[in-house]
Structure 1
Amino acid sequence: MNSRPVAALFVRADSIYKTMPGVDCYDIERDALTWPGGCPVVAHPPCRGWGKLFYFAKPAPGELDLGPWAAQQVRTYGGVLEHPKDSKLWEAAGLPRPGQVDAWGGWTLPISQHWWGHRAEKLTWLYIVGCTPADMPLIPLHLGRATHVIAQSRARRKDGVRLRKGMEGWRPEVTRAEREATPPPLAEWLVEVARRCIVPVRQAA
C-alpha cells in the first residue's frame, strides 16, 4: 500500500482529509501559505473568484493569488489541483486545457464528482503533475442521472428555459456544505493520485 505523505491544501475545517492517515491538512486557520513543501499535494484553492459566476463573488484580499500559488506547488512537488470546469484559473496560471500537456508534464482531467457519490453532477477539472494517465488509479463509472443540481440558475431545458419547481426535469439543489465539500471516496482517490505523483529532480529543485 502506498503510504507516501501528502499535503491537503485549502481544506474545510471539517474536512474528510483530516481523518486520513499520512495527510497533512491546511485549513483557513492553519494557512496553506505556511506549508513548507516537500511532498505531493491535493490542492483545493478558493474558486469563487474563478468560476462562471465570478462577477458576483467578493474574494477577500489576496484570495485570487492562492490559485496560481497552488498551481505552482503542484508543479514543484507533484499532485493534483481541483477546480470547477472551465475555471478562469486555467488561463491565469497557464494550465493546460483537457487534451493538452504543459512544460511541467501537467495535464487536465475532466471529471464528474457524481461518479464518486456526489448527489449533483458537479463537473470538475483536475490539474495533475507527476502521474501519467496510464498510472492513474481506476476511475469509477457511475451511469444514471444525478438526483440534485449545484445551483438552480444553471438548470435549464434544452430550449434554454430555466427549470422551476414543478416542471419536468426540475431537481433540488444540494446544500451549501455539499457544494463545498469533497465526497469521501473522491478525497481518497485524489490522495491516491497525489501519492503516485513523482516529479523529476529538476522540477523539485
Structure 2
Amino acid sequence: MHADSASVAVLFARADSIYKTMSGCDVYDIQRDAMTFAGGAPVVAHPPCRAWGRLRQFAKPRLNEKQLALWAVDQVRANGGVLEHPATSLLWQEKPLPEPGYFDAWGGWTLVISQWWWGHKADKLTRLYICGAKPDQLPAIPYRMGEASHVIASSKARQKLRYRPEVTKREREATPRDLAAWLIEVARTCGARNAP
C-alpha cells in the first residue's frame, strides 16, 4: 500500500508484523527500508531498541542501528505520530525526550503504558513519545488491574518466589493487535492535527 491521506506509515515493523494485516498502514519492515520513508503521513515508529535497552551491554546491534531511533524521533516530530520503545530506553536521555508530565519544543510528550492492557501476555512496560495530539485527544486507554500470566524475563531468584512463565522472543517483540490498532488511531489523530 502506498501512502495516502488515510495512511499511517509504520516504521521498523517486524517482517511478520500484525500491521501488514490492517488497512490504512503503509508498512516499512526490514525488506522495505524505513529510511526510504519520504514523509507526508503520520507515523507509528518501532525503531530497534536493543542498543538502547536495559541489556544493551549484551546486544549486538548492526552498524548504525542505534541511529535509527534518533531518526525515528525526527520523523514523529516532522509528521506527527507516536514512537514506541521500552520503558527503560536510554533514548529519552540521549535525544532528549520529555519525561512524563512535560512537553518539548515540538509539543511532544511521553506516556508510559503496559502492553498487557491491550492483550500482551506479560506486563510489558513501554514508553510512547507522541507528537501532534494532547493527552485528552487520545483514544480511550484500556487500563487493566491484576497480574499478567507471563513475564518478559526474570531472574532465577525472583522466579523461585513466584513462578510465571516467560514469553517467547516473538511474543516479546510483537505488538498486540489491539495495541497496534490503538497506535494507528493515535497516529491518525496526530496527523490530522499536523495537516495544513
Q: What TM-score comes out, normalization by structure 1 length?
A: 0.89
Structure 2 SS opposite 1:152:
coil
Deviation per CA, 1:129-164: give whole Å up to 9, x if none.
0010010000001111001100123x7xxxxxx223
Q: Distance in 1 between matches of 2:165 and 2:93?
A: 32
Counterpart in the other structure of 1:173 = 166
Q: Does 1:186 align with 2:188?
A: no
Partner SS, residue 108 of structure 1: strand
| 2:180 aligned counterpart, secondary structure | helix
Q: Distance in 2 between matches of 1:86 and 1:178?
A: 19
Q: Secondary structure at the match of 1:172?
A: coil
After superposition, where does 1:14-93 map in structure 2 within 5 Å?
14-93=16-95
Shift of 1:169: 1.5
State the Cα distance separating 1:91 from its structure 2 match.
1.1
C-alpha contact 1:129 1:199 (8 A) present in aligned 2: no
Once the two structures are TM-superposed, the CA of residue 200 in structure 1 deviates from its matched residue by: 6.9
Show the counterpart of 1:158.
Answer: none
Superposed CA deviations along residues 55-84 of structure 1, whole A, max 9, x for unmatched, are 111110010010000000000000000000
Q: Which of residues 104, 114, 127 is equivalent to 2:116?
A: 114
CA displacement, residues 21-76 of structure 1 (integer Å, 9 cap, x when unaligned): 11100000101001111010000000000001111111100100100000000000
Structure 1 unpaired stretches of 5+ = 156-161
Letter in 2 for 1:178: E
> Does the 8 Å CA contact 1:112/1:124 hold for their aligned counterparts?
yes
Distance in 1 (alpha carbons) for counterparts of 2:93 and 2:145: 31
Is 1:124 aligned to 2:119, yes or no? no
Distance 1:66 1:191 in 2: 20
Count of residues in correspondence between the two structures: 190
Q: Which amino acid aligns with 1:47?
A: C
> What's the TM-score, normalizing by structure 2?
0.93
Alignment partners' CA distance in 2, 1:17 and 1:200: 23
Aligned sequence identity (%): 61
- Take 2:161 and 2:69, find their aligned partners in 1: how far apart are those partners? 38
Pairwise CA RMSD = 1.3
Does structure 2 conserve the Cα–Cα contact (< 8 Å) formed by 1:82 and 1:127? yes
Runs of 4+ in 1 over 4 A off after TM superposition: none
